[in-house]
Amino acid sequence: MKHDVSPGAGGIEVTLYQYDCDTPVASDDAVYIVDSLTSLGDDDVAEYVVEFDKANIGSSELLVGSDELNFCVTVGLQDAGTGSILVYRSSKLKLTFDLSYALFFLEVTGAPADYHDLEDVALFQMNACVCSVLFTCDTEPPLLQENTFVSVCLWPSSPGVQFVDFNMDIEGNGYSYSPIAIENGAQVTDGFTALQSQGDMWRVTTKLLPGLFVAESSLAEISGGGYLEFVTSKDVMLKDEKEFTLVVELGESVEETEDCLFSRVAEKMGYKGATLPLQVVGNLRFFQN
């Protein structure tokens, strides 16, 4: 089998799964990948061989009925420098065979949908959680109150992947606003939001505005998305856009004056005292470590 793949990979990793593309096939199954015949050519073509043991085909966990094999093959592209999986392609196959002849025949059957690419996307994932000042996810997200602050941590799932930028929206009870927006290609925060980074994780601390609490629903949604990028060892830039959604629980409102705003956001981020380590860069406000 051959696949055209994205340029810049240092190698490939081919894995055989059951038809759900999630459950790995046992290593001693009659259907298997021939590792020695797996290669990635200079023309960015991945090539691999799926082999069938005719004598034991009847015991394969991929067997459907008496003459059909259903399975999935996933091709992962690796960066030569880090070994990280960059992109993958999953193909579902349904093959029929006939053992009544001296030779073992295989034939792809059915419509083209029985042999197709499920995905060919960058393996960039954006993780998100309600978090603490220590950049750790809350095991039990707190009850959020009006005019207080919430921190949301965002981080990519793969080593070496970085954020280009991201946005964030909060919506509840028919009211919505954007603590972080992308305007004219630039990331812009509102006056109630601060960003802080630690390693490859970003923490967004923002105020919960009164409009979220004006009706009976006790739930709000924090959502957003961002561009992630990875530079391979061949200096090829790979980018992908991912989204996240968190559902949080709202509590009762509390009174708070605007004079307390940055004192409370600083306290939420681990700072105390009258002098705040605030750095303004363009429209972004960063609390410095």
> Residue 129's pLDDT is what?
93
End-of-domain residue from the set 122, 138, 165? 122
pLDDT digits 0-9 by tens, 189-202: 998 999 999 988 99
pLDDT digits 0-9 by tens, 197-226: 998 899 999 999 999 988 777 889 999 998
pLDDT of 162 higher than 70: yes
Domain count, the chain: 2
End-of-domain residue from the set 122, 139, 172? 122
Host H or E run for residue 268: helix 261-268
C-alpha to C-alpha distance for 286 and 275, rounded to whole angstroms: 14
Give yes or no: residues 238 and 260 share one domain: yes
Give yes or no: residues 275 and 259 share one domain: yes
Give yes or no: residues 117 and 132 share one domain: no
> Residue 206's pLDDT is what?
94
* CA-to-CA dists, residue 25 to 151, 233, 278, angstroms: 42, 31, 54
pLDDT digits 0-9 by tens, 123-143: 567 889 999 888 999 988 788
Give yes or no: residues 118 and 130 share one domain: no
C-alpha to C-alpha distance for 19 and 31, rounded to whole angstroms: 13
Residue range of the domain that includes 269: 126-287
> Residue 189's pLDDT is what?
92
Lowest pLDDT segment from 56-65, 160-169, 175-184: 160-169
Give yes or no: residues 74 and 190 share one domain: no
Give yes or no: residues 151 and 276 share one domain: yes
Q: Which of 159, 73, 158, 50 is nearest to 119 (CA)?
A: 73
Give yes or no: residues 27 and 137 share one domain: no
pLDDT of 111 higher than 80: no
pLDDT of 25 higher than 50: yes
CB 17 within 8 A of CB 23: yes
Assign residue 232 the CATH number of its domain.
2.60.40.1930
Give yes or no: residues 105 and 186 share one domain: no
> Residue 128's pLDDT is what?
92
Give yes or no: residues 97 and 147 share one domain: no
End-of-domain residue from the set 100, 122, 144? 122
